[in-house]
Structure 1
Amino acid sequence: MRGIIITNLYPNPEQPNRATFNFQQFEHLSSHCELLVLVPIFPADRKINLLQSTSKLSKTNKVHYFKVPMLPIVGSLLNAKILAIWILIFKKPLIKAFSPDFILGSFAYPDGVAASIVAHKFGVPCFIKVHGTDINVMAKIKNTRKQIIKALTIVSGVISVSEALAKNVAELGFSRSKQTVIYNGINHKLFSPADRINARTKLGLEHDVKIILFVGNILVAKGAVDLAKAFISGVNNASLVYIGRGIDAEKITAMSGELKQDQSIKLIGTQNHVAIVDWLAASDALSLPSHNEGVPNVVLEAMACGRPVVATRVGGIPEVLHKNAGILVKKGDITALSAALNLALTTNWDPNKIASHSKQYDWTKNALLTFEYIRDRLNTTD
């Protein structure tokens, strides 16, 4: 079986750590079917060397990058159509030669909508994998909502990363019985419990200060600012470390003047997977107080490292965060978040018990379930 993946959520020459969850999933999926991965890069004027070899990135899949002149407007009515037209103009010979049995768009808009247009032109079944923001946010914007709903009327299947997300997709008109929920996996060889003191020594960190870690896009919507407020208002003798980047990083920096003498906030930018493992090992807790989510992989990875998670009760997080592995709070509740952070830092957690809960999230299992779902839907006439 042959499949084409269309997604901007994939590592590229400029952002080698981008959406590594998709990279890992499709690498494992390639053990069941031959894949061609088409990675659009927005906007088209970004100075990226697309001729850079991709062999170091993927050892199993054919990967093609291409720049697309997207409109810099969230929810633009034209972006999915522009992406589809670009693929049909510049990648048509490649697609015809590959002769796919299916096309999968990973992220509903613009990727999934564009994939449905391309698949329709080639007479090939289409699938969409939904992640979180695409349905929880993009599908609430009038222009994109209409296009996503239209795409859902013609696709053969939808892969959701959580039950909460599958429910939202069903509300858009695609029957839950035709969907599947497949949780993302974890690289357990990389993410596993490790000694905190050794990790801190390696990173040059103090041994006697509690560390709270945030990993992700530094955005208000991801709870990055809520976390800083909760930390400053009520967590003592501790350090808050942000890994990632985002347009709201300046807001975090501006709040540093409110810190008490025994508090610190550090923004260390984007880190690769290996470095994140060290930071998780060095931390006392991970916090991700998002306003909306699918299932953030960093929550799974923190559990795999035996570290408790303080997160918000949104999206698929309650589905994967076991009571023995963390604490859930209401989104936007700064007081509750502050109390939860203190509780997480003072509770005697069992790292091995936390890590054991993460074992069910596995990329090999994920890939097999994905393959079986696509295969079965291709053989279904409903």
Structure 2
Amino acid sequence: MGPGNTHPDADRLAVPAWQRGRRSHAVRHHLDPEDDRAALRAEPARDARRCGEQPVERVRREAIRGGEVAAGVGDAHARENARVRILLVSQLYPGPADPDLGVFVRDLESALADRGHVVERAVLDRRSGGLARYGTLARVTFERARSFRPDVVYAHFLVPTGLIAALATRAPLVVTAHGRDVRNVGALHGVAAATRLVARRASAVIAVSEYLRRELETKVPETRGKTHVIPSGVDLDRFGVTPAPDGAARFLCIGSLTPRKNVLRLAAAFERLGDGRLTFVGDGPLRPDLEGRRGIDVVGPVAHEDMPRHLHAAHVVCGAALIEPFGQALLEAMACGRSVVATRIGGPPEFVPPEAGVLVDPVDEDALARGLRVAASFPRPNKAARAAAERYDVKRQAERVEELLVAAARGRRA
């Protein structure tokens, strides 16, 4: 079998019997309803003509074809490694219903395409749909692996996405661990065994922080010696520095309104200040507990393209999660020259220097309040925060991922 052929256990393991033949409610393609209905009735042969095969709820099918190496990143290294065929598989990807979902995956995908590679994707771009959506992701991943014949598969999240990718093709596999997938090892039945399978199958594993690498290698010894720390990058052009607004301190928190994100304790700490405003961008089960509180605004989820506007309207951006494997929103805030208040549990201590923000114990409400007060006194804008963020330019991070993908595709050890 060649690189594009399906793993021999794929049909038996990838899609549970209860799932076969079912259609997910996870993802909607960008067509109007009539187009969707017509596509759903289309003959299978239409897929070979790159049209039709667009069910109402499905995994997105668009390919990004890099063509020539883009101006500005067309160095000799990129030209030497151009035209590697990459199948991107991810359970997180921004879509119409959830524009904030997995933006870091899309940004990295675009950067790889800009460097001359051919990128095909099988992704989920909605949070809704339950477990059934992973069956859809498996089906489409298998289809793409057969038709696209990738040189290498790049998966985001160890399980289930990495497992799906591992079974869909015998092409070399590189997989990024983001945090929740590592926490699930030992917490959910069967995940540890599945993760070990993915680790053995992978040519390389990426962890988004040193903190996550240590946790992963402790839980899954098979990843030792093949795990590389490559944090998610930030688009320094999109997230630029602007003058800070005048007036009382404006605090911003971006993310899901869930207990793990610690938003209620953050709100209580803010209320101790007695001044300023705190805005939450995101949604979740704790939203009703935040709405209507004095000095607090909840705007709900916003498209990632609108995120710089919200960051520029703030003085301090807060990420007080109980545990944060990396902290993408904090990095984007720093790129905008905004000071941050960040949890000290997880990845933020690796990229937030003292002059850029305040690290706090997330369960200590007094410490949170002090952190907010201190960060509000930092320079506006904060040039040190921008300088720290510049080390994580998404273009540079794409180069590092590219090295692993090309090495895997060519059978070299990274």
Q: Which digits, 9 at most, give the CA deviation of each residue in 1:168-212, with x for residues without a partner? A: 221212344211111221111121221223xxxxxxxxx422111
Alignment CA distance shift 1:145-1:156 (3 Å)? same
Which residue of structure 2 lines up, in the alignment, with residue 236 of structure 1? 274
State yes or no: 1:6 paired with 2:89. Answer: yes
- 8 A contact 1:285–1:307 mirrored in 2: yes
Which residue of structure 2 lines up, in the alignment, with residue 178 of structure 1? 226
Aligned partner of residue 119 in structure 2, secondary structure = strand
Q: Which digits, 9 at most, give the CA deviation of each residue in 1:37-77, with x for residues without a partner? A: 1013568xx6xxxxxxxxxxxxxxxxxxxxx7725xxxxxx
State yes or no: 1:208 paired with 2:247. Answer: yes
Alignment CA distance shift 1:251-1:20 (3 Å)? same
Counterpart Cα distance in 1 of 2:296 and 2:288: 12
- 8 A contact 1:291–1:331 mirrored in 2: yes
Which residue of structure 2 lines up, in the alignment, with residue 190 of structure 1? 238
Alignment CA distance shift 1:348-1:100 (3 Å)? closer
Alignment CA distance shift 1:318-1:216 (3 Å)? same
State yes or no: 1:167 paired with 2:214. Answer: yes
Name the aligned partner's letter for residue 249 of structure 1: R
Alignment CA distance shift 1:109-1:320 (3 Å)? same
Which residue of structure 1 lines up, in the alignment, with residue 290 of structure 2? 252
- 8 A contact 1:32–1:371 mirrored in 2: no
Counterpart Cα distance in 1 of 2:340 and 2:363: 17
Which residue of structure 1 lines up, in the alignment, with residue 155 of structure 2? 105
1:69-148 pair list within 5 angstroms? 70=131, 82=135, 85-87=138-140, 91-92=142-143, 94-118=144-168, 122-137=169-184, 140-148=187-195
Alignment CA distance shift 1:241-1:173 (3 Å)? same
Counterpart Cα distance in 2 of 1:84 and 1:139: 24
Alignment CA distance shift 1:32-1:314 (3 Å)? farther
Which residue of structure 2 lines up, in the alignment, with residue 363 of structure 1? 394
- Give the counterpart of 1:335 among 341, 345, 366: 366
State yes or no: 1:380 paired with 2:399. Answer: no
- 8 A contact 1:83–1:110 mirrored in 2: no
State yes or no: 1:18 paired with 2:18. Answer: no
- 8 A contact 2:184–2:191 mirrored in 1: no
Alignment CA distance shift 1:277-1:26 (3 Å)? same
How many residue pairs end up in the alignment? 328
Which residue of structure 1 lines up, in the alignment, with residue 46 of structure 2? none
Q: Which runs of 5+ in 1 are unaligned?
A: 47-67, 72-78, 198-206
Alignment CA distance shift 1:251-1:174 (3 Å)? farther
Aligned partner of residue 363 in structure 2, secondary structure = coil
Moved over 4 A (4+): none
Counterpart Cα distance in 1 of 2:266 and 2:366: 10
Name the aligned partner's letter for residue 171 of structure 2: V
- 8 A contact 1:183–1:366 mirrored in 2: yes
RMSD value, Cα: 2.3
How much does 1:271 deviate? 1.9
State yes or no: 1:36 paired with 2:36. Answer: no
Identity across matched positions, percent = 24
Counterpart Cα distance in 2 of 1:158 and 1:18: 22
- 8 A contact 2:259–2:286 mirrored in 1: yes
Alignment CA distance shift 1:2-1:192 (3 Å)? same
* 294-303 or 130-139, which deviates more: 130-139
Counterpart Cα distance in 2 of 1:284 and 1:16: 24
Alignment CA distance shift 1:333-1:380 (3 Å)? same
State yes or no: 1:300 paired with 2:331. Answer: yes
- 8 A contact 1:220–1:226 mirrored in 2: no
Name the aligned partner's letter for residue 164 of structure 2: A
Counterpart Cα distance in 2 of 1:41 and 1:307: 29
Name the aligned partner's letter for residue 267 of structure 2: A
State yes or no: 1:227 paired with 2:258. Answer: no
Q: Which digits, 9 at most, give the CA deviation of each residue in 1:56-108, with x for residues without a partner? A: xxxxxxxxxxxx7725xxxxxxx86x4575246xx43x422211112122122
Name the aligned partner's letter for residue 263 of structure 2: A
Q: TM-score, normalised by structure 1?
A: 0.79
- 8 A contact 2:327–2:348 mirrored in 1: yes
How much does 1:352 deviate? 1.7
Alignment CA distance shift 1:354-1:13 (3 Å)? closer
Q: TM-score, normalised by structure 2?
A: 0.74
Aligned partner of residue 5 in structure 1, secondary structure = strand
Name the aligned partner's letter for residue 123 of structure 1: R
Alignment CA distance shift 1:194-1:144 (3 Å)? same
